[in-house]
Amino acid sequence: MFDTGNTGFMLVATSLVMLMTPGLAFFYGGLVGRKNVLAIMIQSFLSMGWTSVLWFTVGYSMCFSGDVGGIIGNFKMAFLHGVTPDMVLSPTNNIPLLVFIAYQMMFAIITPALITGAFANRVRFAAYMVFLTVWLLFVYFPAVHMIWGGGLLQKWGVLDFAGGIVVHAIAGMAALAAVFFVGRRKVSEKGPHSIPLVALGTGLLWFGWYGFNAGSELRVDHITSLAFLNTDTAASFAAVTWLLMAWVFEKKPKFLGLLTGSIAGLATITPAAGYVTVPVSALIGIVAGIVCYGAISWKNRMGWDDALDVWGVHGVGGTLGILLLGVFATTKVNPGGANGLLFGGSSFFFKQAVAVIGFSAYAFAFTYFALFVINKIMKVRITADEENMGLDTVLHGEEAYMPD
């Protein structure tokens, strides 16, 4: 009944995407100071647990069950009601529905975790838990339904292969809103406390991204292979481009720049991975390295305290990827896709631009509003004294490293 090859591949892809969240925890953990390592890492691991609970109770149903006004699903499959082990995803895709549910759950887990890098060292754990909940319910779940679950934007013809809007753009813009609401850190850090930890996280993220992008085809075929190679190509070209940019403007070839550049390339190719050629993915990587590097440089000049550059890498990268998809997509590569601006698809480019700008604006506005309301109920930001002591001790009573 089931296609065992495709099922096996999707189980591996699901596992790879799951691995990305611990990878993100290591990536962020290395970027902060020694007193805040556990506080930033637990936010990613909490999402693995709490988001899974929400996904089981209402999340999957809100994303993929029915349709209410093109905006959101219904609650008919809440608590996975009616789902049995022998159900297939669709008449044309004979993988178990349970595998698809698990695969999409991994996307839901990592998306809000991306935001946490923006307000590192400043937010109370209880406030984060509330924010995580409402953001999933009112931003992420509607985005998934509208673009992947049969909603308004999908019917309109918007394409997003693996999450340029659904994951990166909305997370990046939410991060920027959080930066503006929470404000700057009172205690400046000397810089990343462990670049090797950042490198470990980058390796896990890069490795997991193959499941993220190639797995989004939901089967093994030529598009799967294309998405796999496009993923690595864009990441590699972006990493080297960022390294060269740092070498020119900062006078040193920075390891941290190489690592950050690879993530920018991965985020940017994500929406286009299954719709563009390999040479175009190389070009996308180069553009991602230049534009995202420039965005972070501009952010620094503006004085925005996006601690771990979530907006510059994911927000700008995801938006850029959606727009470049609107330019370079071709049905010669993927008949199930569309033709971009270079192939006569001006209307497709317009749809891509409207979708990413509109949903990014919504994510920004809702995030700021949600934090404002949460702050009326409980304090979102820690005090200056608590920040000076470090969140690991203040919030969690634990230390990442024993004193010498």
Answer whether residue 250 is part of any domain: yes
Answer whether residue 404 is part of any domain: no
pLDDT by residue (tens digit) across 116-159?
A: 999 999 999 999 999 999 999 999 999 999 999 999 999 999 99
Calpha distance 144→112 (Å, rounded): 13
| pLDDT score recorded for residue 403 | 72
- 339 has pLDDT over 70: yes
pLDDT by residue (tens digit) across 9-46?
A: 999 999 999 999 999 999 999 999 999 999 999 999 99
Mean pLDDT within 101-120:
97
Mean pLDDT within 182-210:
93
Predicted confidence band of residue 190 (pLDDT cuts 50, 70, 90): confident
Mean pLDDT within 282-305:
96
| pLDDT score recorded for residue 189 | 81
Calpha distance 94→385 (Å, rounded): 57
| pLDDT score recorded for residue 404 | 58
| pLDDT score recorded for residue 48 | 97
CA-based nearest residue to 234, from 276, 187, 189, 186: 276
How many domains, in total, are found in the chain? 1
Answer whether residue 401 is part of any domain: no
Which sign does the torsion angle of CA 166, 167, 173, 174 carry?
Answer: positive
Answer whether residue 294 is part of any domain: yes
Task: Give kind and range of the element (H or E) at residue 52.
Answer: helix 37-54
Question: b/e per residue, 328-361, with b = 16+ CB within 10 A?
Answer: bbbeebbeebbbbbeeebeebbebbeebbbebbe
Contacts of 54 (CB under 8 A, 6+ apart): 108, 133, 136, 137
CATH number of the domain at 21, please.
1.10.3430.10
- 284 has pLDDT over 70: yes
Beta bridge mates, 72: 68
Distance of CA 35 to the CA centre of its chain: 26
pLDDT by residue (tens digit) across 296-330?
A: 999 999 999 999 999 999 999 999 999 999 999 99
Mean pLDDT within 59-84:
97
- The two structure tokens encoding residue 48: 């693995």
CB atoms under 10 Å from CB of 142, counted, come to 24
Answer whether residue 60 is part of any domain: yes
| pLDDT score recorded for residue 356 | 98
- 331 has pLDDT over 90: yes
Q: Which amino acid is at 42?
A: I
pLDDT by residue (tens digit) across 232-246?
A: 999 999 999 999 999
Question: Using CA atoms in the order 146, 163, 354, 141, what is the torsion angle rounded to 10 degrees?
Answer: 30
- Average pLDDT over the chain reads 96
Q: What is the largest CA-CA distance in the chain?
A: 65
CA atoms within 13 A on the CB side of 370: 23
Q: Which amino acid is at 329?
A: A
- 177 has pLDDT over 80: yes
Domain carrying residue 16: 4-396
Calpha distance 180→69 (Å, rounded): 32
CA-based nearest residue to 150, from 224, 63, 237, 89: 63
Instruction: Please say whether the beta carbons of 132 and 46 come within 8 A.
Output: yes
pLDDT by residue (tens digit) across 256-271?
A: 999 999 999 999 999 9
Instruction: Please say whether the beta carbons of 1 and 357 come within 8 A.
Output: no
Predicted confidence band of residue 163 (pLDDT cuts 50, 70, 90): very high
Mean pLDDT within 268-280:
98
Predicted confidence band of residue 375 (pLDDT cuts 50, 70, 90): very high
Predicted confidence band of residue 188 (pLDDT cuts 50, 70, 90): confident
| pLDDT score recorded for residue 402 | 80
